[in-house]
């Protein structure tokens, strides 16, 4: 994992390796600027005297998780034709987990509680359409995805000399490849119509046979209720099946074919009626995110998901959100992609609500009026050194504050309760995100289907130097 570097005035320089950062800290040429992600600040250098290389931030937007990658742009020359081919050298991989579903659930609960409380009040005339929404308004759960993605792009701009951006805008647009001037109703005919239906079913049924669960085999479009028995061609009546199951089912009703497996039958019928909420969320926010990226003033490259998938398959790269971001856009080669991924989870900064409610929406308790106790807030990264007592030892992790000044500390493996604030030292303020590190295996290990290792991240790399600095 690369280390971000700032000059003495806080301007971004080229990221460096962990070994070089360790030497700079040991020799006193750099100071610790931020722990997670790891950022150092040089004390003897300015950006005006340094040579900077072109860096690009790439995004693979998603409903639940957005992949980000910081890459250095490279070029290679094709020996036969002399054509200059673009490439990328990976410097940093990140995956940002959104909390849009939590926001939606919180708003739904608030609405229900307000209705419950107002049921005991005097009658009030209903009011409709009494609040105006600005043009381009998005629900809070969707706007959160745009805001958090843009926030991390801006953070990377502060820590690295980013010169361009790339983002995936649409999944597939094959007709635009054949006819760049296509528009309007022309999209409803030709290759795209059937291809979009197939891609929809692949996403909806997780690329598996609905009857036997087979994966990595050719799949066929299958009618749940056969057309010979009155079934329609609507998407809600379509599923995916391998060739063996498709021939075996034939024109049988689904109830007869799966009579011996009622559990699979119930799951299949329920999934057939389930909409693609995640795909709808991405479609609703893709243009808002693209416009927000253009507002940064940097050149923005917008690419399709088809090109991303083509690049990943051609270069033999495993499928993750962060590596999908690396494959966005026009690429001929990718280097140094076997890097650990920084997993970022949006946790929020707490709640403005100071009154806890019961299931009926009435008060049941109250929180502290202030969120900080003795200079610490819940979620801060602290280092506690307890000299005596049952809790003797050194602990590093997230703190949960109490009004009494006796805190809980969540380390990587346990929760240490009852640590006095006098033994705690602040490392980094809570910024609304939780961090962990995920190791990416090599191509051979990824092909063997090994699971990825995820470890809690408190002090990433350079542990001895960080401990000395704090």
Domain boundaries defined on the chain? 358-430
Q: What is the DSSP string of 230-252?
A: T----GGGEEEEEHHHHHHHTT-
In this prediction, residues 415-443 reach a mean pLDDT of 86
The DSSP secondary structure of 311-367, one letter per residue, reads HHHHHT----HHHHHHT-SS-SEEE-----EEEEEE--S--S--EEE-TTS-EEEE-
Q: Which positions ≥6 away from 60 have C-beta within 8 Å?
A: 66, 67, 68, 167, 168, 308, 321, 322, 324, 325, 328
> What is the pLDDT averaged over residues 266-274?
81
Instruction: Measure the CA angle with vertex 232, ends 228 and 234; round to 5°.
Output: 150
Q: Which of 256, 275, 252, 276 is nearest to 265 (CA)?
A: 256
Q: What is the helix (H) or strand (E) element at residue 90, kind and residue range?
A: strand 84-97
Each residue's pLDDT tens digit, 192-237: 455 567 777 887 888 899 998 888 889 998 899 888 888 888 778 8
Query: Phi then psi for 116, rounded to 5 degrees?
Result: -65, -40
**Over 70: is that where the pLDDT of 186 sits?**
no
Minimal CA–CA distance to 398: which of 207, 109, 413, 258? 413
Residues 320-359: pLDDT tens digits? 999 999 999 989 999 999 999 999 999 998 888 888 888 7
Total residues belonging to the chain: 470
Enter the DSSP assignment of 122. Answer: P
The answer, yes or no, to whether residue 77 has pLDDT greater than 90, is no
Residue 88 · residue 74 · CB < 8 Å: yes
The backbone torsions φ and ψ at residue 294, rounded to the nearest 5 degrees and listed phi first, read: -65, -30
d(CA 406, CA 42): 37
Q: Is residue 373 over pLDDT 60? A: yes
Higher-pLDDT residue of 150, 453: 150
- Residue 298 is encoded by which pair of tokens? 């940097």
The two tokens of residue 119 are 């049921």
Confidence label for 458 from pLDDT (cuts 50, 70 and 90): very low
Contact of 241 with 219, CB cutoff 8 Å: yes
Asked if residue 294 has pLDDT above 90, the reply is yes
* Helices 277-294, 140-159: inter-axial angle, 10-degree rounding: 40
Q: Check: CB of residue 333 under 8 Å from CB of residue 87.
A: yes
The residue among 271 and 171 whose pLDDT is bigger is 271
- Read off the pTM: 0.78
CA gap 58, 344 in Å, rounded: 16
Higher per-residue pLDDT: 180 or 355: 355
Arithmetic mean of pLDDT, 386-411: 93
226 touches 251 (CB < 8 A): yes
Task: Look at 271-280, 437-446, 452-461 and tell me which has the smallest mean pLDDT.
Answer: 452-461
In angstroms, rounded to a whole number, what is the distance separating the alpha carbons of residues 376 and 193? 56
Let me know: does 386 contact 423? Beta carbons within 8 Å: yes
Judged on CB neighbours under 10 Å (0-12, 13-18, 19+), 465 is buried
Distance of CA 373 to the CA centre of its chain: 32
pLDDT band at 461 (very low <50, low <70, confident <90, very high): very low
Q: Say if residues 14 and 438 touch (Cβ distance below 8 Å).
A: no
Q: Are 64 and 98 in contact (CB under 8 A)?
A: yes
Three-state secondary structure call for residue 436: strand
CB 58, CB 326: distance < 8 Å: yes
Q: What's the burial of 157, exposed, middle or buried (CB within 10 Å: 0-12/13-18/19+)? A: middle
For the chain, the average pLDDT equals: 85
Q: Distance (Å, rounded) from C-alpha 426 to C-alpha 141?
A: 32
Q: State residue 50's pLDDT score.
A: 83
3-state secondary structure of 288: helix
In angstroms, rounded to a whole number, what is the distance separating the alpha carbons of residues 169 and 390? 55
**What tokens does 315 get?**
């270069």
């Amino acid at each position: 994992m690369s280390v971000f570097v700032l000059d003495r005035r806080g301007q971004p320089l080229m990221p460096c390796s962990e070994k070089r950062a360790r030497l700079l800290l040991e020799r006193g040429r750099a100071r610790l600027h931020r722990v997670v992600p790891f950022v150092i600040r040089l004390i003897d250098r300015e950006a005006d005297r340094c040579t900077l290389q072109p860096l690009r931030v790439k995004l693979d937007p998603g409903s639940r998780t957005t992949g980000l990658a910081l890459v250095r742009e490279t070029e290679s020359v094709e020996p036969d034709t002399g054509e200059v081919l673009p490439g990328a050298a990976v410097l940093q991989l990140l995956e940002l987990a959104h909390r849009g579903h939590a926001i939606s659930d919180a708003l739904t609960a608030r609405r229900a509680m307000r209705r419950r409380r107002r049921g005991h009040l005097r009658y009030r005339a209903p009011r409709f359409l009494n609040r105006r929404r600005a043009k381009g308004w998005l629900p809070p759960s969707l706007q959160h995805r745009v805001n958090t993605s843009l926030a991390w792009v801006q953070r990377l701009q502060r820590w690295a000399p980013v010169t361009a951006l790339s983002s995936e805008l649409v999944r597939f647009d094959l007709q635009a490849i054949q006819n760049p001037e296509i528009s309007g109703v022309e999209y409803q005919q030709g290759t795209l119509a059937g291809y979009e239906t197939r891609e929809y079913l692949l996403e909806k049924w997780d690329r598996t046979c609905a009857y036997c669960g087979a994966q990595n085999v050719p799949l066929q479009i299958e009618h749940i209720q056969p057309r010979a028995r009155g079934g329609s061609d609507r998407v809600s009546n379509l599923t995916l099946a391998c060739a063996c199951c498709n021939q075996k089912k034939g024109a049988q009703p689904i109830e007869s074919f799966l009579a011996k497996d009622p559990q699979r039958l119930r799951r299949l019928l329920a999934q057939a009626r389930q909409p693609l909420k995640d795909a709808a969320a991405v479609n609703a926010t893709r243009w808002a995110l693209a416009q927000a990226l253009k507002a940064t003033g940097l050149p923005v490259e917008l690419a399709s998901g088809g090109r991303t998938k083509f690049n990943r398959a051609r270069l033999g790269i495993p499928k993750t959100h962060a590596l999908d971001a690396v494959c966005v856009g026009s690429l001929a080669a990718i280097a140094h992609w076997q890097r650990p991924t920084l997993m970022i989870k949006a946790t929020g900064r707490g709640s403005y609500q100071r009154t806890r409610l019961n299931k009926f929406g009435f008060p049941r308790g109250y929180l502290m009026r202030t969120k900080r106790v003795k200079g610490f807030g819940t979620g801060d990264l602290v280092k506690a050194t307890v000299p005596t007592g049952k809790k003797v030892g050194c602990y590093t992790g997230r703190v949960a504050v109490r009004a009494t000044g006796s805190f809980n500390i969540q380390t990587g493996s346990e929760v240490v309760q009852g640590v006095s604030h006098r033994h705690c030292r602040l490392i980094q303020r809570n910024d609304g995100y939780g961090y962990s590190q995920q190791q990416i295996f090599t191509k051979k290990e990824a092909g063997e289907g090994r699971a990825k290792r995820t470890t809690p991240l408190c002090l990433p790399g350079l542990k001895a130097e960080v401990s000395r600095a704090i």
